[in-house]
Amino acid sequence: MARKKVIDLDTYTALDAWAISLQEMYRALRRSGFEVDLALAVIVEPSAYPDWILPKPDLIPHTWDDDDDEE
């Protein structure tokens, strides 16, 4: 009997999650009947799909401090 591959979700970065989301969205659009050109057009235009489909940019930690310039 074949074993299922175990995926450790803690090893994915925000960039990994973003890329996986795009790939899954493309596959879903193609399965639902979208032509390749239209599926790519939907993915390229972020305003064409819901906010919950991709990770939020503000969840990515910043490495700088904006308050340093105000002193």
**For 1-11, what is the mean pLDDT?**
69
Q: Is 5 helix (H, G, I), strand (E, B) or coil?
A: coil
Cα–Cα distance measured from residue 58 to residue 67, given in angstroms and rounded to the nearest whole number:
17
Expressed as residue numbers, the domain containing 36 is 11-57
- The pLDDT tens digits for 9-60 are 677 887 887 788 889 889 999 999 999 999 999 888 877 767 676 555 555 5
The reply to whether 62 falls in a domain is: no
The reply to whether 6 falls in a domain is: no
Structure-block tokens of residue 26: 């493309």
The reply to whether 17 falls in a domain is: yes
Cα–Cα distance measured from residue 35 to residue 43, given in angstroms and rounded to the nearest whole number:
12
**For the whole model, what pTM was predicted?**
0.57
